[in-house]
Amino acid sequence: MAIRVELRGDEPVEKALRRLKRLCNREGVVLGRGAQRFYEKPSERRRRLKKERMKTIRRAEKMRNLM
C-alpha cells in the first residue's frame, strides 16, 4: 500500500509533509508498525483504541469550548 501526497501549486514541502504524516496516522501506518513488534492481547487493543477515541472526543470538545 502506497500513500502519495502531491504538492499543490506553490505549496511548501513542509506543509505537504504534514499532510503525509496526517494521512499515515489516519491509515494506522505508524501504529501498525509498533503493533507488529510485540503481541498485543485483544483486550489491551480494545482498551487502547477506546482510550484514543476518548482522547479525540475530549480534544474536540475542548476546541469547541474555546471558540
pTM: 0.46
Q: What is the pLDDT along the chain (67 residues), one digit of tens a residue?
A: 677 888 888 889 999 999 988 888 887 776 656 656 778 889 998 999 999 999 999 999 998 888 7
Cα angle value 40/42/44 (rounded, 5°): 65
Contact 3, 28 (CB under 8 A): no
